[in-house]
Amino acid sequence: MGKGNYAIPKTKQEATARLASLRKAIEHHRYLYHVLDTSEISPEALDSLKHELVLIEEAYPDLVTPDSPSQRVAGEPQKGFKKIPHAVPQWSFNDAFSEDDMREFDLRTKRFLKSALGLPAARGLPAQAGLSAAKNIVQAGHEVSPAYTCELKIDGLKVVLTYESGLLKTGATRGDGTVGEDVTSNVRTIESIPLVLTEPRSLIVEGEVWMPKSEFERQNKERKKRGEEPFANPRNIAAGSIRQLDPEIAAKRHLDTFIYDIARIENKFPETQVEELALLRTLGFKVNPHFKLCADIEEVIAYWKSWQIKKDKQDYWIDGVVVKVNEKMYQDAIGYTGKAPRFGIAFKFPAEQVTTTVEDIVLQVGRTGVVTPVAHLRPVSVAGSTVSRATLHNEDEIARLDVRLGDTVVLQKAGDVIPDIVAVVKEMRTGREKKFVFPKFVLESDGTANPIERVPGQAAYRCVNKNSFAQKRRKFYYFVSKKGFDIDGCGPKVIDALLDAELISSFDDLFTLTLGDVLTLPRFAEKSAENLIESIEKARRITLGKFLTALSIEHVGEETAHDLADAFGSITKIRVASFDDFNNIYGVGEVVARALVAWFADEYHSALLDRLLTHVQIESQKSKVKSQKLSGKTFVLTGTLATLGRDEAKDKIRALGGEISESVSSKTSFVVAGENPGSKIEKARTLGVRVVSEEEFLRMIY
């Protein structure tokens, strides 16, 4: 039997043993937390252990003992959404997770005020007066000590509202920050969004759409009555509701909003963030009342701490505090990076943690043959969704955590997204847990044993047989993805169905499929089958760079594929190229050169290419250089760019005569740093390579 996300033991003997372990662990961590003022696991994880104990005791009431921890005192439907370009770029805030992060943000903010006053005004706002005022303050030698406005970070869906002469014109989602979806019809159904302002002002505002917890619970009760699956969390249902094609459905969801920012406004802009919130409220917008003006960063931290305690009492989900410099002239002086405001930050609450058990550890094979251990968990709800799997990364990580089969573990979502095992609750061990030992092989879906081995000098294991069925699936997924042939409607599930039905066994088989073949697959109607065949037909023309990328040649990623395409211009020349021909290309190197020679010399690959070339037309590829503005400059892109896609950025660089590399070296001219840039930044600094923001990069290419 079971209850919620917890498995209730089937026998009294099992329940007795589990309760003994739970009571021991809870008492241990209770003592650490309440007596010694320290902790090994979070309060949320401890609560999860207590919750499981109560559920088992409810199932076996005669096992309740006086010393148990539980005994302490207790419109019209639309055909689709049209795209809507944002008049003002929609930035996202960088995150902070600790008090030290916030103190560093405070120091960084003050440094920027003193050294970065020459930056252009952000968002196209008329801020020159503010910049001049800020410069005068600093140049006069005054100490810069900005105040901060703290606002609750609502866990909902961002919406951008445009008003003209006081009337609501459009409502849009954030999208990629540059282009969103037009959801005006649905936005109009939200009672807290004014259709007409109290003053005939033209402006663009930003806010959060959310569903009240009480409404969320009501909706789920109704769904259960109808035999439907309940929604996972209020944020998901808010996002899904605002993107309903039928506005009547959105109206029935009783969504709400908080508006928190003016992105653009005619006439004078408010001088502080607090005044901006006051103006929004005056104009008729719903503004969250719990914001606070803080004199310094320590007051900010105190506010953040207080709301960790109070957040659950609100009728909406709160996942942190947004902190902004209050003075607008300081905001304009500090400005923006390529993807986020420098003058603000999202101070996140600690990640939610729960406990669960490891039921199995299964090896997953990637397209390059790398084997990743994945923990199969007793399903548990964490941060609003049910999790049953978490990657354990590699053998060294398993050893570091000492994770064993049957262990009770602490699970959290890294960045509130990726499930991550952070600790083992060793006090829960019964002695029946088993250490995981990497096997000498993995089983294919057909039962074939595929040997694996640890890569010398690395923590990774890899399949010895590089043509295993599991790898074949992954390679097919990559072949049809956007990085390769970009076959719309041909995702992993379709590839699996085609492979399982033995309709395809090599890449070229995709181009021999008929309508009749596809109609034999489960869940394929005539229209969906026609769409797939049409997508395959469109994919028959492909650039040389994408063609090479799609082949999954070892060590050849997108950048190297484009370098090869630029250097040789045709697949014919690449097929007969020598080791020296490859090695002489900037960005290739000896390891990649050897891999290329070996791949093209292989008889199977040669025959595959011959067959593919009878079905597809490869466009001769040389970069279309419009100018030599970036001639002789080599760029490395790292992280996520906010204002343009990575492929678009690469095309811009090539069009201006520049080159792109996948790795940082002494020959690199610039490293362009987007969101979450990773280790390439550190390497650039070590080598003395200049790191530029997206904003600086945009000035280079435009």
Q: Does residue 192 surpass a pLDDT of 60?
A: yes
Name the β-bridge partners of 259. Answer: 207
Asked whether 650 and 557 are in contact (CB, 8 A), the reply is no
Separation of alpha carbons 469 and 497, rounded Å: 14
Structure tokens at 83: 């795209």
Rounded Cα gap, residues 190 and 238, in angstroms: 11
**pLDDT value of residue 16:** 94
CATH assignment, 469-539: 1.10.150.20
pLDDT mean over 429-458? 81
Contact status, residue 70 vs residue 63, Cβ threshold 8 Å: no
| Cα–Cα distance, 46 to 34 (Å, whole number) | 12
Give the residue-averaged pLDDT of 679-687. Answer: 78
User: What beta strand segments (E) does 296-455 contain?
Assistant: 318-325, 344-348, 353-365, 370-382, 385-391, 404-405, 408-414, 418-424, 434-435, 441-443, 449-454
Tens-digit pLDDT profile for residues 689-702: 888 888 788 888 87
Residue 124's pLDDT is 33
User: Mean pLDDT over residues 513-520, rounded?
Assistant: 85
- Position 306 scores a pLDDT of 94
Contacts with 702 (C-beta within 8 Å, 6 or more apart), sequence order: none
What distance in Å separates the CA atoms of residue 361 and residue 461, rounded to the nearest whole number? 15
102 touches 300 (CB < 8 A): yes
Out of 153, 650, 652, 680, the active site residue is 153
Torsion sign over Cα 487, 489, 495, 500: negative
* Residue (of 182, 191, 157) closest to 78 by Cα position: 182
pLDDT band at residue 454, thresholds of 50, 70 and 90?
confident
Cβ-in-10-Å burial (0-12, 13-18, 19+) of 583 comes to: middle
Strands 318-325 and 434-435: unpaired
The reported pLDDT for the residue numbered 290 is: 94
For 273-298, what is the mean pLDDT?
93
Please state the rounded mean pLDDT for residues 179-195: 84
Least confident of 315-329, 392-406, 430-444: 430-444
Mean pLDDT of 111-139: 50
The number of angstroms, rounded, from the C-alpha of 356 to the middle of its chain's C-alpha atoms is 24
CA distance 197 to 13: 67
Whether residue 607 has pLDDT greater than 60? yes
> What would the mean pLDDT of 211-223 be, rounded to a whole number?
85
User: What pLDDT, on the 0 to 100 scale, is given for residue 596?
Assistant: 93
Do domains 2-71 and 85-348 share one topology? The answer is no
Mean per-residue pLDDT, 405-419: 78
**Can you give the three-state secondary structure of 561-628, one letter per residue?**
HHHHHHHHCCHHHHHCCCHHHHHCCCCCHHHHHHHHHHHHHCHHHHHHHHHHCCCCEEECCCCCCCCC
- Among 265, 278, 268, smallest CA distance to 329 is for 268
Mean pLDDT of the chain: 82
Higher pLDDT, 142 or 662: 662
- Any idea which fold 2-71 has? Helix Hairpins (1.10.287)
SS3 of 406-448:
CCEEEEEEECCCEEEEEEECHHHCCCCCEECCCCCEEECCCCC
Q: Which of the four pLDDT bands, split at 50, 70 and 90, describes residue 632?
A: confident
Q: Judge whether 624 counts as a catalytic residue.
A: no
8 A C-beta contact, residue 322 and residue 158: no
Residue 427's pLDDT band, with cuts at 50, 70 and 90, is very high
Nearest to 274 by CA among 151, 90, 130: 151
Say whether pLDDT at 252 is over 90. Answer: no
pLDDT of residue 127: 38
Instruction: Identify whether the C-beta of residue 441 lies closer than 8 Å to the C-beta of residue 452.
Output: yes
Sequence-distant (6+) residues with CB within 8 A of 359 are 376, 377, 378, 405, 406
Which helix H or strand E contains 181, and what residues bound it? Answer: strand 179-181
The pLDDT assigned to 123 comes to: 38
pLDDT band, residue 75 (cuts 50/70/90): very low
Per-residue tokens: 341: 């405001």
From 649, 646, 688, select the one nearest 665 (Cα to Cα): 688
Could you report the per-residue pLDDT of 644-656, keeping only the tens digit for each?
A: 777 778 878 887 8
What CA–CA distance (Å, rounded) separates 667 from 670? 9
CA distances from 156 to 237, 257, 258, 329, 561 (A): 9, 9, 10, 29, 40
Average pLDDT over residues 481-506: 88
Tell me the domain boundaries of the chain. Answer: 2-71, 85-348, 353-443, 469-539, 543-619, 634-701
User: What is the percent of the chain where pLDDT is above 70?
Assistant: 85
Superfamily grouping for domain 634-701:
BRCT domain (3.40.50.10190)
The residue among 105 and 137 whose pLDDT is bigger is 105
Per-residue pLDDT at 241 exceeds 80: no
Residue in the structure block whose two tokens are 């011959």:
610
| Close Cβ partners of 356 (under 8 Å, ≥ 6 residues apart) | 5, 48, 377, 378, 379, 380, 387, 408, 409, 411
Is it the case that residue 68 has pLDDT exceeding 50?
yes
Distance CA 299, CA 148 (A): 9
Categorize the per-residue pLDDT at 33 as very low, low, confident or very high, splitting at 50, 70 and 90.
low
Question: How far apart are the two ends of the chain, measured CA to CA in Å?
Answer: 64
Q: Is the pLDDT of residue 278 over 50?
A: yes
Mean pLDDT, range 306-314, rounded to an integer? 89
Q: Which of 137-151, 198-212, 356-370, 683-697 has the lowest mean pLDDT?
A: 137-151
CATH class for the region spanning 353-443? mainly beta
CA 229, 232, 234, 237: dihedral to nearest 10 degrees?
-60
Q: Pick the more confident residue, 458 or 265.
A: 265
The pLDDT of residue 284 is: 87
Point out the least confidently predicted range of 43-57, 255-269, 621-635: 621-635
* pLDDT band at 621; cut points 50, 70, 90: low
CB distance 670 to 653 below 8 Å: no
Per DSSP, 640 falls in state: B
pLDDT of residue 132: 54
For residue 528, what pLDDT band results from cuts at 50, 70 and 90? confident
**pLDDT class of 138 with cuts at 50, 70, 90:** very low
**Could you tell me the fold of the domain covering 543-619?**
DNA polymerase; domain 1 (1.10.150)
pTM of the full structure: 0.47
Does residue 557 or residue 120 have the better pLDDT? Answer: 557
CA dihedral of residues 179, 180, 181, 185 (deg, nearest 10): -120
Residue 40: left (phi > 0), alpha (psi -120 to 50), or beta?
alpha
Q: Which residues contact 654 (CB under 8 A, 6 or more apart)?
A: 562, 566, 623, 624, 625, 660
Domain 85-348 annotated CATH 3.30.470.30: yes
The confidence score (pLDDT) of residue 129 equals 43
DSSP H helix total and E strand total for the chain: 25, 29
Q: Which residues contact 494 (CB under 8 A, 6 or more apart)?
A: 521, 532
Structure tokens at 470: 């599991």
Q: What is the pLDDT of residue 121?
A: 37
Tokens 């009501």 label which residue?
218
382 and 419 Cβ atoms separated by less than 8 Å: yes
Token representation of residue 1:
């039997």
